[in-house]
Amino acid sequence: MGFSEDPELQPFLVGIFLSVYLVTLLGNLLIILAVTSDSHLHTPMYFFLCNLSLADAGLTSTMIPKLISAILTHSTVISYAGCLTQMSFSIIFGCMDDLLLTVMAYDRFVAICHPLHYQVIMNPRRCGFLILMCFAISLFDSLLYNFMVLQITCFKEVEISNFFCDPTQLLNLTCSDTFSSDIFTYMVSILYGFIPVSGILFSYYKIICSILRVPSPGGRYKAFSTCGSHLTVVCLFYGTGLGLYLSSTFPLSAGKGALASVVYSVVTPMLNPFIYSLRNRDIKGAMRMVFNKTVLSRSL
């Protein structure tokens, strides 16, 4: 159903979403380019940050191009296969964001609480294994949703009060008793919401306890500054995610539900590169180096 069928708002919506999409892609690709081009940033923390940028770019690419196309063609219809495909990729990339933030919290926990063993614990093999596990769990979550949605029989000429195929709303379209879909939603919320949040909270509890034992104020500030960007992204991601969950739980208008989804799936991926680049000297230095190399190559 999108946002509005008012013809006067269509050019404004296209301009806004196209600008946000381009900024999101450019910001996340710059993060990836800066990390891969600077050998000093080939560490576990920036390795996970690269994968987070890939997941953010994938999440917006799953939704925004289809939304812009629907506005330009004045057609909000999506095919059955297209809806399942969009739902699957949105779950994979959204779940990847969720799990990567948990892995990054664990990385900061090891770096601050066990600095002498950091290189041994967070070795390249373990980092690769963690990324592989995040992808496997996200793929499994997507398959579970597909299994539930494929059981829906009355899946024809229905209206989804959002700008993409929201998994929670697709489950509500079942013709049979909604008890099984409600149980499934609660189980998924516990596995992919409560457990990752508990892991992040436990990691930061240990981090804060370790930082408070540092004698000098400068040392405490330096230790906590390494977690500032990640903590900001965690609050933004889970804060907007909670808003999206509440919008699907309580009956809201189509515009309000879609707005909650925009903040979670569009605004947050756009802000992540700014949060990490503005608060991180290494990222800003790497971006400056990439920019200088580009300018120098063009001048030559």
**CA atoms of 245 and 265, how far apart (whole Å):** 12
Per-residue model confidence (pLDDT) at position 115? 86
Within a domain: 1: no
Of the two residues 7 and 75, the one the predictor is more confident about is: 75
The CATH number assigned to the domain holding 77 equals 1.20.1070.10
pLDDT of residue 12 exceeding 60, the answer is yes
Q: How many domains does the chain have?
A: 1
**Encoded tokens for 274:** 């700014």
- Other beta carbons within 10 Å of 187: 11
Q: How high does pLDDT run on average in the chain?
A: 81
For residue 3, is it within any domain? Answer: no
Averaged over 74-82, what is the pLDDT?
85
Assess if residue 46 is contained within a domain: yes
Which value, to the nearest 10 degrees, does the dihedral of the CA atoms of residues 268, 65, 256, 270 take? 10
Per-residue pLDDT of 251-300, as tens digits, reads 555 555 566 677 777 888 888 888 877 666 777 777 777 677 666 666 66
Mean pLDDT across the stretch 144-159? 76
Neighbours of 274 (CB within 10 A): 11
What average pLDDT score do residues 144-170 get? Answer: 78
pTM: 0.85
What was the pLDDT predicted at 154? 60
**Residues 186, 192 contacting (CB under 8 angstroms):** no
Q: Which two tokens stand for residue 251?
A: 């009956």
Q: Is residue 220 pLDDT above 80, yes or no?
A: no
Instruction: Read off the DSSP letter of residue 289.
Output: H
